[in-house]
Amino acid sequence: VRCDNGEAPRHYTITSPPGAATIEICTRKLAGGAVSTYMHDTLQVGEKVLLGAPCGIFTVPEDVSEAVLVSAGIGITPMLAFLQHLGADKVKASLHIERNAGRNGLGERFAAAGVTNATTIFTSEGRPDLADQAEALIAKAGTDATYFLCGPTLFMSDFTEALKAKGVDESKIKREVFGTGTVKSNNEAAKETSGDSALAPADS
């Protein structure tokens, strides 16, 4: 998307269902964010923006029959697109990790779509153990489902290792870095507890 405020173009995930007559994207208004603020406060219905052709590679393979959607922070955005593409009957479970309920703008879409095993965890209520969460997802969906991961790098690295440790083949794990912040890994959490980590919480 390229707006008229002089800022560089931004890339967004298309979240509208396949075949829809309109193109939907999801943007979170960020304090000080030039483009998100412009889109929320200045753009009006009926105005035009310049769009480029879709160019992402984080997509659903045609042979996926059972999927698990795992996200943190704004990594939920492509998961909503995958849900729209697959339908709730193929999504055997979903997990989203967010800072607090006020930031969970898309969570209700999963419940409304009929995903039966949709779980949301808020880190404001305590840091989740990713190994435990991976085990819970496998109990619901098995090891043959395709696991889609999207979020900060350390979060995805830890979750990938947790899934592999429980028997999910790496070929069944699809992932993409998405976002500017971090959900702390178990290793980071242990370092903070021992006083060895200087990492500060980052936005997601």
* Torsions phi, psi for 100 (to 5 deg): -160, 170
For residues 121 and 96, the answer to whether their CB atoms sit within 8 Å is yes
Cα torsion 125, 131, 136, 140: sign:
positive
DSSP 6: S
69-125 pLDDT, tens digit per residue, is 999 988 999 999 999 999 999 999 999 999 888 888 787 788 888 898 999 999 988
Cα dihedral angle (82, 127, 139, 59), rounded to 10 degrees? 20
Residue type, 43: L
d(CA 171, CA 12): 26
Residue with the larger pLDDT of the pair 173 and 10: 173
Which of 50-59, 108-117, 152-161, 180-189 shows the lowest per-residue confidence on average (mean pLDDT)?
180-189
Structure confidence at residue 102 (pLDDT): 81
Q: What is the DSSP string of 153-170?
A: HHHHHHHHHHHHHTT--G
* Mean pLDDT of all residues in 148-164: 94
3-60 pLDDT, tens digit per residue, is 766 777 888 888 888 888 988 988 888 888 888 888 889 889 998 888 888 888 888 9
Evaluate if residue 182 carries a pLDDT over 80: no
Instruction: With cut-offs at 50, 70 and 90, classify the pLDDT of residue 191.
Output: low
* Torsions phi, psi for 148 (to 5 deg): -100, 125
Instruction: With cut-offs at 50, 70 and 90, classify the pLDDT of residue 196.
Output: very low
For residues 143 and 166, the answer to whether their CB atoms sit within 8 Å is yes
